[in-house]
Structure 1
Amino acid sequence: MKRITCWLDFISPYAYLAFEELPQALLGLSYQVDYRPVLFAGLLKQHGQRGPAEIAPKRDWTYRQVLWLAHRHGIPLQLPAAHPFNPLGLLRLALACGEGGVANRYVCETVFRHAWRGGADAADAQRLQALTQALQPPRDPAGDAVKAELKANTDEALAHGVFGVPAFAVDDRLFWGFDALPMLRAWLEGDAWFRAGGDWDAATQVGAGVRRAAS
């Protein structure tokens, strides 16, 4: 049985789509998933990036694309009332329901659907309180231990080369994005494309031709 680490942030519609699609995408394979919430904004800051929703034209396209992808794959999705939203409350709640930096699938499903179904404000304080009451976390989401776990998860993701969510790590391979699920399945099935010295390795050997000067 393969063990997959899934780094996610509830702020990401692509992470939501990948989470919903994962069981179907890997149907028939033997695997276990550790769901590890991370702070996407922390990844962006470390890599000097802006999020898709922070670039006006890309923001519109992102929402159109995720709505199309949800339609195409039969996944219920309604955009939240405001986005991007502050995901810290949701991330900490999910971690407070688990232990060791891992949240179980039921908790992640509940939190994702809180954010991406119904069109309400995902970060609304009253809704977060109701969600907390429904999940009954055994630990305090605002406690130092939970905050430390979120930071540790984010640091671990960065150490593994994660730059965005969702990201899936298995063996020594990292797969990023909703559209990488077929590629993840191919690795788990032992596809020869991944053999040593092939295209997977060749991708790291491309030289940088031009570098933009920092503004």
Structure 2
Amino acid sequence: MKHITFHLDFVSPYVWLAFERLPQALEGLSWHASYRPVLLGALLQRAGNPGPVGIPAKRDWTYRHVSWLGQALGCGLDMPARHPFNPLPLLRLALSCSEDGSINRFVAGAVLRHVWLGGHDALDPARLDALAQTLSQQLRGDETERQERAKALLRSNTDEAAARGVFGVPAFEVDGRVFWGLDSLPMLRAYLQGGDGWFEGSAWDAAPSVPSGLPPAA
């Protein structure tokens, strides 16, 4: 059985789509997943990447694309009242349910549905209180302990993800290989299924070794 580490940040609509699609995409294969919250903004900053919302035309396209994908895939997706938003309260709440930096599928799903279904404000205080109540049986330790542990886990998760080559979310890590994005799910399936000669040869390592034709950055 293969283990998949699913790196996620609740601010990304593609994380919601990938979360919903993953069981269908890997149906029939032997696998299990752990869900690791990371701070997408920190990963983008390290890479010098403004992200889709940093480019106005790309922001418009992204919101159209994910809204269509939500209905096309049958899982739904309603843009929240404001986006982007600061995901820290949601990330820390989720990690308050963790001892080791991983959260279970129930916790991940509850937070993702809070954000991506209904078109509400993800940071509305009353809704955050209701979400915390939904997760109350999952919380670990007293409130002060949870808060400090969640902050530390988020930092370490993000640092470890970056060290492993994760530059965005959703990202699926298995056997030290990182598959990025919703559209990588067919590739992930091919790897887990085995028998794909592309993975058995040198192509994985050879593909990124192509020299750049651009001049060095000043």
Q: TM-score, normalised by structure 2?
A: 0.94
Query: Is residue 35 of structure 1 aligned with residue 35 of structure 2?
Result: yes
Query: Is residue 160 of structure 1 aligned with residue 170 of structure 2?
Result: no
Query: Is residue 172 of structure 1 aligned with residue 176 of structure 2?
Result: yes
CA distance in 2, matches of 1:211, 1:74: 45
- Deviation of 1:212 after TM superposition, in Å, equals 6.7
Deviations 1:104-126 (A, max 9, x none): 00010000000000000011122
SS at match of 2:32: strand
Match of residue 15 from structure 1: 15
CA distance in 1, matches of 2:134, 2:191: 37
Q: Does 115-124 or 48-57 show the bigger shift?
A: 48-57
Q: Does 146-155 or 48-57 show the bigger shift?
A: 48-57
Match of residue 59 from structure 1: 59
Contiguous gaps of at least 5 residues in structure 2: none
1:138 to 137, 140, 145: 140
1:186 to 179, 187, 190: 190
Which residue identity lines up with residue 9 of structure 1 in the other structure?
Answer: D
CA distance in 2, matches of 1:37, 1:197: 31
State how 1:58-137 maps to structure 2 within 5 Å. Answer: 58-136=58-136, 137=139
SS at match of 2:178: strand
Runs of 4+ in 1 over 6 A off after TM superposition: none
CA distance in 2, matches of 1:212, 1:84: 32
Deviations 1:139-169 (A, max 9, x none): 4386211100000000010000100000001
- Deviation of 1:207 after TM superposition, in Å, equals 0.2
Deviations 1:161-199 (A, max 9, x none): 10000000101211000000010000001122112323x
- Deviation of 1:204 after TM superposition, in Å, equals 1.7
Match of residue 208 from structure 2: 204
Q: TM-score, normalised by structure 1?
A: 0.95
Contiguous gaps of at least 5 residues in structure 1: none
Aligned-pair identity (%):
58
The count of residues paired between Structure 1 and Structure 2 equals: 213
